[in-house]
A and B are shown apart, each in its own frame.
Chain A
């Protein structure tokens, strides 16, 4: 079983729509959860960083972690064409250096 699973998409939505991106994970020891955005031929860029369960909001982005169901979500409000990228979820244990990534979801926002 893959440790972090993510639907690779592609996902296309019209500009202004709310985007919902999701991951599931199997390792109950994961405590830190991240969302990265990756543009073509660029490195992953950190969007959101959360510890344990709960919600975190930053501008148009909201990250949710539900540890009871091992489910991670990222919501993008008022989506813009510049949000078109691949979105990677990632997780790691406390005291463990290794970050485990999902496959990434390719998102296109249609103007």
Chain B
């Protein structure tokens, strides 16, 4: 069964550094998402992306965050200047036109 793949599985970075989290969505999917889950808390919506532009974003997704689909297969989340509170699991998800979301296994981001 096709799946969403995310790399790396674990990223450690120092506060103030830039990180890029990478995702390969399921190949025929059209809608792409990033969610995050701080340890012990709910899975939270960050951003949705369709037709090469952001379609919706949450209040968490401030100017420090950006998304890109650089080559038609990858989907990336960039955090420009990481803060301690950015430490979380980041999940990429995708869906086809009417299907529900399929999630990847996440990237655990640790900011020290």
Residues of A within 8 A of B (CB): 32, 34, 36, 41-46, 49, 88, 90, 96-104
> In the complex, what distance in Å separates the CA atom of A34 from the CA atom of B33?
16
Interface size on B, residues (CB 8 A): 25
Q: Total number of A-B contacts with CB less than 8 angstroms?
A: 53
> In the complex, what distance in Å separates the CA atom of A3 from the CA atom of B59?
16
A46 touches B101 (CB 8 A): yes
B106 touches A42 (CB 8 A): yes
One digit per residue, 1 when the CB lies within 8 angstroms of any chain A CB and 0 when it does not, for chain B 87-112 equals: 00101000000001111111010000
> In the complex, what distance in Å separates the CA atom of A100 from the CA atom of B33?
13
Stretch in B13-21, B42-50, B65-73 touching the partner: B42-50
B58 touches A43 (CB 8 A): no
A contact residues around B100 at 8 Å (CB) = 32, 34, 46, 49
A44 touches B43 (CB 8 A): yes
B27 lies within 8 A of chain A by Cβ: no
